[in-house]
Structure 1
Amino acid sequence: MTARQLAADEARRLIRIGRKGVLATNGSNQEKYAPGWPSSSLVTYATAWDGSPLFLLSTLSHHTQNAIRDSRVSLLVDGTDRHINPQEGPRVSVVGHLRLENDTRLHRRFLAKHARAKLYAEFSDFQFYKLTVEKLHYVGGFARALWISKKNAVLPKSAWQDIAVSEESILRHMNSDHQQTIRLYGTKLLKKQGRHWSLIGVDPEGLDLMCGQTVHRLPFDSSVVDAEQCRKMLVSLAKQARDL
């Protein structure tokens, strides 16, 4: 694996772990308050199966209005919290176009990660969007800055289309029949406290789990491309957890 491919995997892992970021948009010269100036806003997001960020945004918001006029946006995801010197920590800027997203399966993925958004998801001014990725700018630490092309930034359709079809049935099966296993994923593999765990998302690169109101990410050791590979990975993770 090349350094650029490794950086792409690290960047996508950082994006999948995150739940919030800073969305930068381009202001119109005709707007009233800051004509022609760039604008940045705190937003919450989830990810599609390929790693593209998903949003639930109000058309009344300044950043949404900017993106409707000019779809070019950038999302900054910051992974530096645990570093005394933030400049030594990882961060990634996702560059692309903000587009309306009509796939209700992706709506479910967003709402699973941001359950409180269900309170306003049906409001007439709120709509789901996906950031169609053109490139990433990943900084893995001091002197580790790389531009990553679209080809490496997101997973190809062949890597996620079967998982997309199977995700909801996997979630139903695991949450119905294997609650103790999910709890072991959280308490043993992630070393987190809590009794009531659920599986809320599956993609080719890992699992999203929830305990209480907190979302946790459990990455896979290697990617899976279909339901059978996913089943084998879940069994392997369960064995690892029981052996600890």
Structure 2
Amino acid sequence: MDDPELARTLASHASSGVLSTLSKDPAGFPFGSVAALAVDATGSPLLRLSDLAEHSRNLAADPRASVLVTEAGEGDPLALARVTLLGTARVLDGAERDAAHEVYRAVHPNGVYSDFHDFRTYRLDVTAVRYVGGFARMSWVSAEDYAAAAPDPLFPYRAQIAGHMNDDHGDSLVAFCRTLADLPGTTRARMLDVDRHGFGISSDASDEPVRIEFDEECRTPDAVRAAMVALVRRLP
């Protein structure tokens, strides 16, 4: 996937992030705080913020803000993906607010504090996106490209799929590397990640991961299973 798709996928599955605003007092300093969020169909973060919170006071004085979302994982945090969404925050009212509440409650059904009378619903209208995919992969993504990108539907299942392949079908992964990735010296291989277009594998015969594409786009785990069977049938 390209960087707009990767950024949109990471943001769309986030339930919290770091909200950065411009401090009102002391004036002008970056002010970061953890915030619960949901992302709507356009990729815009939705937040329920108390009027009593420091970040709400800051937004009332200057609506410019950003939201940082990071990939969950272990090990070096700098090796994990993250996306920063920059934009202008505004309070939603009427039909916009009602629609945003439905999206937010689907992500935070037990967010009781957000029902208090002093909470308002904000949307960050994204104007620019910075995507970092770990070491040596980073780019600025335009708001237009970000909004047009489609989140990857396999994102919630990728750990499950990779775990199943590594635990139960390691021989197939070795065969994929030997035949489909032209690494005949492979004796050990592990699936690293998977998306609707294909998957990455580490091979002990290569210093770099290899990429194998599906014949057709896979949008469900069942589709991935069928695609893997099709790949196995291509092996000699």
Q: TM-score, structure 2 length as denominator?
A: 0.62
1:146 pairs with 2:139: yes
Task: Specify the alignment match of 2:76 in structure 1.
Answer: 85
RMSD between superposed Cα atoms in Å:
3.1
Amino acid at match of 1:12: R
Equivalent position SS for 1:45: strand
Deviation of residue 191 (structure 1)?
8.2
In 1, distance between residues paired with 2:108 and 2:162? 20
1:59 pairs with 2:51: yes
Structure ID, larger Rg: 2
Describe the shift of the 1:109–1:73 C-alpha distance in structure 2 as closer, same or farther (beyond 3 A): same
Task: Specify the alignment match of 1:229 in structure 2.
Answer: none
Task: Specify the alignment match of 1:35 in structure 2.
Answer: 27
Amino acid at match of 2:133: G
In 1, distance between residues paired with 2:8 and 2:124? 14
Q: Do the aligned partners of 1:80 and 1:88 also contact (CA within 8 Å) in 2?
A: no
Identical aligned residues as a percent: 31
Number of residue pairs aligned between Structure 1 and Structure 2: 169
Deviations 1:116-164 (A, max 9, x none): 22x23332210111110001011111121211111112138xx9xxxxx
In 1, distance between residues paired with 2:88 and 2:123? 8
Task: Specify the alignment match of 2:154 in structure 1.
Answer: none
Q: Do the aligned partners of 2:65 and 2:89 also contact (CA within 8 Å) in 1?
A: yes
Task: Specify the alignment match of 1:167 in structure 2.
Answer: none
Deviation of residue 101 (structure 1)?
2.1
Deviations 1:153-199 (A, max 9, x none): 2138xx9xxxxxxxxxxxxxxxxxxxxxxxxx99x87989xxxxxxx
In 1, distance between residues paired with 2:62 and 2:104? 23
Deviation of residue 240 (structure 1)?
3.8
In 2, distance between residues paired with 1:220 and 1:107? 29
Amino acid at match of 1:7: D
Deviation of residue 221 (structure 1)?
3.6
Equivalent position SS for 2:110: helix
Task: Specify the alignment match of 1:164 in structure 2.
Answer: none
Equivalent position SS for 2:18: strand
Q: Do the aligned partners of 2:48 and 2:119 also contact (CA within 8 Å) in 1?
A: yes
Task: Specify the alignment match of 1:97 in structure 2.
Answer: 88
Deviation of residue 81 (structure 1)?
2.4
Describe the shift of the 1:149–1:14 C-alpha distance in structure 2 as closer, same or farther (beyond 3 A): same
Q: Do the aligned partners of 2:131 and 2:138 also contact (CA within 8 Å) in 1?
A: yes
Amino acid at match of 1:19: S
Describe the shift of the 1:137–1:124 C-alpha distance in structure 2 as closer, same or farther (beyond 3 A): same
In 1, distance between residues paired with 2:37 and 2:120? 13
Q: Do the aligned partners of 1:80 and 1:91 also contact (CA within 8 Å) in 2?
A: no
Task: Specify the alignment match of 1:114 in structure 2.
Answer: 108
In 2, distance between residues paired with 1:122 and 1:89? 34
Gaps of 5+ in 2: 151-156, 165-193, 198-216, 230-236
Deviations 1:102-125 (A, max 9, x none): 3212211101111122x2333221
